[in-house]
Chain A
């Protein structure tokens, strides 16, 4: 099993519903977020390209945050989801420094927090909160090893890219282009 997410940049409008849905699902305190929107504009008026990306932890196969964690708080579970055990975390911040995607933040209660792919929902057969709310349905989640999962079907006939492939982390967010 390998959980992953595909984000369709041809459909995302950057509305941030994924951000607020994650905050209200996971009780992320105001001022912090586990997922966010990046807008890139290229070209010169009027020859322009615009891309919105809903970004979060890439749940990397080769995850520097897990490797550098001195206490084992950052760890990987079945399906490749990277998690932080909050009461094992000493808040040293090494994982935050090591992440090329800037996906982690220091929770005011003293531990590092990040996207869990809403594992608590996935275990119940639900989609992550961000996926379930997205009005454009540009987020696709599932098991890459299952050819009929939403994420596999979304990737099937489309071009995609990953972010910062040069970092060698084998990220598991796929951006459909």
Chain B
């Protein structure tokens, strides 16, 4: 039995137990007497609540920052009236204060300088210098190439402030990893099927569902707060939960059925489910007849796609396929086929999402209680400003005719357009980057590096010295979300609502809010008419008053709900509901896809399999972290310091790998991880795959806690399966093998 809790706590109870969030430094008997019982519990102190909404992830839960008399932020608690969190923040939201206190934060503006011997370094600069430098470069690019040549990589609120700046300046050349590297295929698929996206937070009615189907979605490991809460409610309600995953995920552990599918074969399983629904007469006839287009096509299409056919492809037994299809039909229409979120896997991802949408349609699981509800968001009045100038070209033109159904910029195309040797018709010469750490959030590091080295100028805004700042000419230290005003949150939900974020403390160091940085650059470019205010609170107050509220009111309540204007959240029985598609109906046969020359109905295609001694790399989330952005947060680092590579015990035996052993990973293209990663021997992963949590293996030493902790899955993702429909970057076709010796020392030996 362990008598002391160490870095990883091994419990005294239970077999094969692994514990998280343990940790102790040194036993300090007598070292610190007399006792210094200094700090009491925080809820006994006199604290002032200040409204905010979280920026640790994209769920943006509303909460209260609690501030003491000295002005220190002591804790953050969820807002009870917020449907995103129901008063309960997730570990990242609760630990969000670590973002504010992190001593590794960017502290002053930085400007890249060159010594006479050619070495480059960052010099601390004044805001005046840094802002002037960026504004001057923007003027220069505009004169030389036109404003469109200034591109933007953006995410979240910081990105939105720069998007406004670039639109006012004359560029719509922007892209965010959230589309082509994440949820883009889902948007294209659901639009083409139902004429509506599922949005964010996804309008899944999990709370009232009788059957939740998760295809690779790992709710509970992704802490999409209200969904985690609703899945918990579904467990209480005894809903059937069906999880399809090659890994025994947390959700799989809580499921009625776990289908341990062979990776990359999901489309075959879904088509077999569709086959069973149609040929066993289990589909929702009323909905199909009244509201869908192309039933005869799909019926003919899946004729031979039987459970027996799928068994040979997916490893899922025909009996299980039938049983789960019947469970769905029995619960219909109260079924949530969860559309997932990070869905760029194999390059045919839009088609897989289409298959899921078709499955939903056959169950009538749309617009009904317990399926997908019809969401509504508050439309925020636009603060007075001139129209944005017309652009000669925009992100769409970078696709040069490819990816017809892309609804947002494709990051990889923006990178390619930045490389002159690739001869794009429209070339990108400079970047702004805000709120996204491209080297750890995008696959194909080589492409990123070539593009970053090719462009004339890069300015980055972040709160932390993320890897992307290392490529910048100018770095802006942004204030954290706890220190700034931002746009009002207006996200879709069952009940439309808005949430306020306001500063709970003055920005630490010499950091500044994103809105201020954008405005300062805008003023220098003569764009004052787009920034007709002194403080962003004036914009918010103006908007709130138009909505019948005010800043004063919102400071007290943080979140405000409004009555729905678009009608009820469910479609009534017998209602003549018109879908926003070509045919006005739910398209089982996609007219759009047929017009663009894509398969109008999903087809299963086999994908490459791992060669001998290689294993498919599957990656995902841990509940305590948001990608690479939280790895250095002191509170969250304390919960999880590094990732591990999950290896099935059979594979571990074959390789002689032990739990906790450090290995380097090498992929099919000879890429090797910069840092070693611990092996976790576990039955929770298939023998043909390994699993890693994404976002670790930071290489910037300025991140003193996160540097070198764990390995970066992105380094192993060099093979990208591009989705021809919307430009998605399928990342699950990469295979790794283990290096038990440090490859760096091997290289030295070779040289000697």
- A33, A41, A106: the one contacting B28 at CB < 8 Å is A106
**Beta-carbon contacts of B692-718 to A below 8 Å, as 1s and 0s?**
000000000000000000000000000
B118 at the interface (CB under 8 A from A): no
Query: Known: A10-B254, A45-B686, A137-B232. Is A20-B28 also a contact (CB below 8 A)?
Result: no
Query: Known: A25-B75, A27-B41, A38-B17. Is A138-B232 also a contact (CB below 8 A)?
Result: yes
Task: Tell me which of A75-83, A92-100, A144-152 binds B.
Answer: A92-100
Which B residue's beta carbon lies closest to that of A15?
Answer: B623
Residue contact A106 to B27, C-beta cutoff 8 Å: yes
Residue contact A48 to B28, C-beta cutoff 8 Å: no
User: Which of A55, A96, A136 has the most chain B CB atoms inside 10 A of its CB?
Assistant: A136
B258 at the interface (CB under 8 A from A): yes
Task: Determine the interface band of chain B, counting residues with CB < 8 A from chain A.
Answer: 35 or more
- Which B280-300 residues have a C-beta within 8 angstroms of A? none
Query: Known: A19-B91, A24-B95, A50-B248. Is A32-B24 also a contact (CB below 8 A)?
Result: yes
Query: Known: A24-B42, A48-B683. Is A13-B5 also a contact (CB below 8 A)?
Result: no
Q: How far is B100's CA from A60's CA once the two chains are assembled, in angstroms?
A: 38
Residues of A close to B1: CB separation below 8 A = 100, 102
Residues of A close to B4: CB separation below 8 A = 96, 102, 105
Residues of B close to A42: CB separation below 8 A = 15-16
A177 at the interface (CB under 8 A from B): no
Q: How far is B684's CA from A111's CA once the two chains are assembled, in angstroms?
A: 40
Query: Known: A16-B91, A24-B42, A102-B12. Is A136-B228 also a contact (CB below 8 A)?
Result: yes
Residue contact B11 to A136, C-beta cutoff 8 Å: no
Residues of A close to B29: CB separation below 8 A = 91-93, 106, 110
Residue contact A17 to B36, C-beta cutoff 8 Å: no
Task: Tell me which of B494-502, B630-638, B729-737 binds A.
Answer: B630-638
- Which B36-51 residues have a C-beta within 8 angstroms of A? 36-44
Majority secondary structure, B binding face:
loop
B561 at the interface (CB under 8 A from A): no
Which B residue's beta carbon lies closest to that of A89?
Answer: B35
Residue contact A109 to B36, C-beta cutoff 8 Å: yes
- A23, A96, A106, A120: the one contacting B638 at CB < 8 Å is A23
Residues of A close to B77: CB separation below 8 A = 133
Residues of B close to A46: CB separation below 8 A = 248, 258, 260
Residues of A close to B683: CB separation below 8 A = 41, 43-45, 48
Residues of B close to A108: CB separation below 8 A = 25, 28, 32
User: Which of A16, A93, A133 has the most chain B CB atoms inside 10 A of its CB?
Assistant: A16
User: Which of B37, B76, B223, B686 has the most chain A CB atoms inside 10 A of its CB?
Assistant: B37
- B38, B39, B624, B687: the one contacting A16 at CB < 8 Å is B624
Query: Known: A25-B41, A110-B33. Is A40-B3 also a contact (CB below 8 A)?
Result: no
User: Which of A39, A89, A111, A134 has the most chain B CB atoms inside 10 A of its CB?
Assistant: A39
Q: How far is B77's CA from A109's CA once the two chains are assembled, in angstroms?
A: 27
Q: How far is B29's CA from A51's CA once the two chains are assembled, in angstroms?
A: 35
**Beta-carbon contacts of B673-700 to A below 8 Å, as 1s and 0s?**
0000000001111110000000000000
Residue contact A27 to B42, C-beta cutoff 8 Å: yes
Residue contact A30 to B635, C-beta cutoff 8 Å: yes
B158 at the interface (CB under 8 A from A): no
Residue contact B18 to A121, C-beta cutoff 8 Å: no
Residue contact B639 to A26, C-beta cutoff 8 Å: no
Residue contact B19 to A37, C-beta cutoff 8 Å: yes
Name the distance in Å between A112's Cβ and chain B's nearest Cβ. 10
Residues of B close to A50: CB separation below 8 A = 248, 250, 252-253, 684
Residue contact A19 to B639, C-beta cutoff 8 Å: yes
A52 at the interface (CB under 8 A from B): yes
Which B residue's beta carbon lies closest to that of A98?
Answer: B3
- Which B253-284 residues have a C-beta within 8 angstroms of A? 253-254, 258, 260
- A13, A86, A133: the one contacting B94 at CB < 8 Å is A133
Residue contact B91 to A17, C-beta cutoff 8 Å: yes
Q: How far is B338's CA from A143's CA once the two chains are assembled, in angstroms?
A: 39
Residue contact A102 to B248, C-beta cutoff 8 Å: no
B648 at the interface (CB under 8 A from A): yes
B747 at the interface (CB under 8 A from A): no
Query: Known: A38-B17, A102-B9. Is A25-B43 also a contact (CB below 8 A)?
Result: yes
Q: How far is B22's CA from A23's CA once the two chains are assembled, in angstroms?
A: 12
Residues of B close to A36: CB separation below 8 A = 5, 9, 19-22
Residue contact B3 to A97, C-beta cutoff 8 Å: yes
B594 at the interface (CB under 8 A from A): no
**Beta-carbon contacts of A57-92 to B below 8 Å, as 1s and 0s?**
000000000000000000000000000001101111
B13 at the interface (CB under 8 A from A): yes
Residue contact B36 to A110, C-beta cutoff 8 Å: yes
Residues of A close to B91: CB separation below 8 A = 15-17, 19-21
Which B residue's beta carbon lies closest to that of A37?
Answer: B20
A170 at the interface (CB under 8 A from B): no
Which A residue's beta carbon lies closest to that of B683?
Answer: A45
Residue contact B250 to A20, C-beta cutoff 8 Å: no
A-B CB contact pairs (8 Å), 8 listed = A13-B250, A19-B21, A20-B635, A33-B21, A38-B9, A45-B248, A87-B35, A136-B220
Name the 4 nearest CB pairs between A and B, nearest first: A50-B253, A13-B220, A110-B32, A15-B623
> Which residues of chain A have a CB within 8 Å of any CB of chain B?
10-11, 13-17, 19-21, 23-27, 30-33, 36-46, 48-52, 55, 86-87, 89-93, 96-97, 100-102, 105-106, 108-111, 118, 120-121, 124, 126, 129, 132-138, 163-164
> Which residues of chain B have a CB within 8 Å of any CB of chain A?
1-5, 9, 11-25, 27-44, 74-78, 85, 88-91, 94-95, 97, 220-221, 223, 225, 228-229, 231-232, 235-236, 248, 250, 252-254, 258, 260, 623-624, 634-636, 638-640, 648, 682-687
